Homo-oligomer: A and B are copies of this chain.
Amino acid sequence: MTNATKLSLHVPAPKARPGDPVDFSPLTPPPAGALGRPDIAVHAEDTRDHARGLIRVLNDEGEAVGAWNPRLNAEVLREGLRAMMLTRAFDDRMFRMQRQGKTSFYMKCTGEEAVACAAALALPRDDMCFPTYRQQGMLIARAYPLVRMMNHIYSNAADPNRGRQMPVHYTAKAYGFFSISGNLATQFPQAVGWAMASAYKGDTRIATAYIGDGSTSEGDFHQALTFASVYRAPVILNIVNNQWAISSFQGFAGAGESTFAARGLGYGLPSLRVDGNDFLAVFAATQWAAERARANLGATVIEHYTYRAAPHSTSDDPTRYRPAEEAEKWPLGDPIERLKKHLIARGEWSEAKHKALDKQVVEEVRAAGKESEAIGTLGQSRPSVKEMFEDVYKDQPWHLRRQRQELGV
């Protein structure tokens, strides 16, 4: 070992930090419509190009092109547009409310609305979604009452979570929306278990799961893919690659040398990489994966390539670790703008209508806000303190009863 190379530790770093110029040119997105839409019985290996490329439907002119065009009628698209706009308006208000001290915490999904909203409309609500905290768009697209979301965020007397959870940890079984966990990645293998149960019972319902790019590093991610592969579970395994995990860029999740979608291939799971800011592409990929699952062909991995335009949460200030102008320069654009352009190009929408809708969703959020705030913001009203001791177990055991009595509630 004489004269051997000295080893050195490689620590990845993003292209740009605050103060550096932003250059996304190496990411120039491939043209829309370029990739074929394989048969749902495809072998994983034959989705190699889909796992490394990028499925896109909307081109720069706003036209829907190629084999992945889901050929949705304008009604559905307007519903999707509305859901995304309402989600953004909701996020904006709640972020402001946190800043005003009306709640302790909030998380936006700005720039990523298509990921959740398209899936919500592509799947029936008796399927079960295992979301992360950034799929609020799914609830909103399915018309879950905004007031109820707010009641939870305010931990007020009407909070469906009974004041027990930090904001944005919704639960909505009736809307096919699993209780959000604060522990990253845990929901991914749980979704596989739910899907296995559905298969076990000879049901027709499938599961869908979400995970962030950063969270894919957890062991749970791997166990989910392993179980999904072994038992051919009817589940859609979605990775939302929004480039950032708090202050850590995707290189710390191993994105430097491969794509997240490509992980799936090693498990024999057909895998797609999708333009996550393209409502139509997300819709189409979700539909394809759902068809596969329902045909007993097993799981699909989908990477949604997008960008977290917002801070991680209200506790975060991204200008400390990334250039502020990254979001604007993001080459895949804004999902709302892109769908709007498509609808206008199809003659199904107009600037005026858009403006009106924008006003309408803001108004809708404001009205819900007023209603919820009337019940109370954080600390103003809350569920009975007794609720602290309920639901730890189905029936309250003696020691919790005694502790409740000790507290005098």
Contacts and interface: CB of A to CB of B under 8 A. Distances in A.
Interface of A: 1, 4-12, 44-45, 52, 124, 126, 196, 198-204, 206, 217-223, 225-226, 229-232, 234, 251-254, 256-258, 262-269, 294-296, 298
Nearest to A266: B263
Contacts of A266: 258, 262-266
Contacts of A9: 196, 199-200, 231
17 contacts: A4-B204, A4-B294, A5-B204, A5-B296, A7-B203, A7-B204, A7-B206, A8-B296, A9-B196, A9-B200, A10-B232, A10-B296, A219-B223, A254-B267, A254-B268, A263-B267, A265-B266
A200 B6 CA distance: 10
Count the copies.
2
B254 A199 contact: no
B258 A124 contact: no
Contacts of A45: 52
Given A222-B219, A256-B229, A204 B262 contact: no
A124 B1 contact: yes
A257 B7 contact: no
A204 B1 CA distance: 8
- Interface centre among A202, A232, A252, A254, by most B CB within 10 Å? A254
Contacts of A217: 222-223, 226
A373 B303 CA distance: 60
Given A204-B6, A219-B222, A265 B262 contact: yes
A44 to B, nearest CB: 6
Of residues A258, A262, A294, which shows the largest number of chain B Cβ atoms within 10 Å of its Cβ?
Answer: A258
Given A6-B202, A7-B202, A226-B253, 8 more contacts: A6-B204, A12-B230, A219-B219, A222-B222, A257-B268, A264-B266, A265-B266, A266-B266
Given A7-B198, A262-B266, A254 B226 contact: yes
A38 B263 CA distance: 22
A295 B296 CA distance: 46
Most buried by B among A45, A201, A222: A222
B204 A296 contact: no
Contacts of A6: 202-204
A193 to B, nearest CB: 11
A201 B6 CA distance: 9
Nearest to A189: B219
A257 B220 CA distance: 20
A315 to B, nearest CB: 25
A226 B258 CA distance: 11
A10 to B, nearest CB: 4
Contacts of A4: 204, 294
A295 B206 CA distance: 47
A6 to B, nearest CB: 4
Contacts of A258: 44, 229, 265-268
Contacts of A253: 226, 230
Contact of A219 (B1, B11, B218, B294): B218
A47 to B, nearest CB: 12
A217 B228 CA distance: 12
A302 to B, nearest CB: 14
Contacts of A201: 7
Report the 3 A-B pairs with minimum CB-CB distance, sorted nearest first. Answer: A219-B219, A257-B268, A222-B222
Contact of A231 (B1, B11, B263, B296): B11
